Structure 1
Amino acid sequence: MTPRSAKFRSKQSNMTIKVCYGPTNDSSEERKDEYYEEVQRVIDEIPERDMKILIGDFNAKVRRNNQGKENVMGVEGLGEVANENGAHFKSFCSANNLDIGGTLFQHKIIHKYTWTLPSGI
């Protein structure tokens, strides 16, 4: 899905917001690579001076342990195990100097995810 965007201009700075929905963890590596290439093209089109905000669902689970990724995320991820998409997402954010906002602030556990398996997990 092509990311949708909105631009906001102010005297202090400009902000570009992109809405993105990533492929599921079950998707092929080819599909995941295509998706991140598409999002990278979108990011590259945003002027460097603009504040960049990506919102949506990257279908990525990042864990609480941020060792080695302190520049990208806080310690408020979900659980102790990340998924494959989480690793890809962290690398993407690191390469683009983006923060994973959902890991920076304490939230109730139920607000840290958007979907559960039918089994309740």
Structure 2
Amino acid sequence: MNLVVVSSLICAHAPTEEKDDATKDAFYAELDRAYGRCPSHDIKILLGDFNAKVGREDIFGATVGRFSLHETTSSNGLRLIGFAAAHNMVVRSTGFRHLDIHKASWLSPDRLTRNQIDHVVIDARHASNILDVRSCRGPNIDSTIILLQLRFAHGYVWRRLHVEVR
């Protein structure tokens, strides 16, 4: 007998670094409310433009992968990491070894500056279900945003029935 595995996806667009703290606090309060409305047994995944540069500092090792595009974490990155840690989640978009051009999710209009500010965050228990996250530079959509590609494996839960034979 197999059981159904259900996921709750929360798509978000966080305020930029330049916005005031009250706006950022309001965003994360609303994100927390959305997270709280998800059934507890669901696999919870946050996707979106968090405008957060997540660095490779060792202190965040349990929450953040080792392969971020950025060396240091921005203010918005600290907020995202704090949210993830408070909810026992991990930032999986920084957990895969890729060339830097496949990590960047934002490109400046002059095409010189690249940032990894779009992220995929998942419950730590189900982190291994995300097989890969990378940017796809192929589609020319005349934008500074670069599309992300996520490979996800929905695991099946099997329950074995023990039958006693006489």
The TM-score with structure 2 as length reference comes to 0.62
Contact 1:20/1:55 (8 A) holds in 2: yes
Q: CA deviation at 1:78?
A: 1.6
Q: Distance in 1 between matches of 2:23 and 2:63?
A: 24
Task: Kindly provide the amino acid, as one letter, of the partner of residue 101 in structure 1.
Answer: R
Percent identity of equivalent pairs = 32
Partner of 2:100: 109
Q: CA deviation at 1:12?
A: 3.8
Q: Distance in 2 between matches of 1:116 and 1:24?
A: 15
Could you give the per-residue CA deviations for residues 1-56 of structure 1, whole angstroms, max 9, x where no partner exists? xxxxxxxxx93421111111111111111100000000000001111111001111
Contact 1:69/1:94 (8 A) holds in 2: no
Q: Distance in 1 between matches of 2:95 and 2:17?
A: 23
1:74-93 residue pairs with structure 2 within 5 A? Answer: 74-93=65-84
1:1-121 residue pairs with structure 2 within 5 A? Answer: 11-65=3-57, 67-118=58-109, 120-121=112-113
Aligned-residue RMSD, C-alpha? 1.6
Unaligned runs of 5+ in 1: 1-9
The TM-score with structure 1 as length reference comes to 0.83
Q: Identify the range of structure 1 (10-19 vs 74-83) with the bigger mean alpha-carbon deviation.
A: 10-19
- Give the match's secondary structure for 2:90: coil
- Give the match's secondary structure for 2:46: strand
Task: Kindly provide the amino acid, as one letter, of the partner of residue 102 in structure 2.
Answer: H
- Give the match's secondary structure for 2:29: helix
- Give the match's secondary structure for 2:101: helix
Partner of 1:7: none
Contact 2:56/2:64 (8 A) holds in 1: no
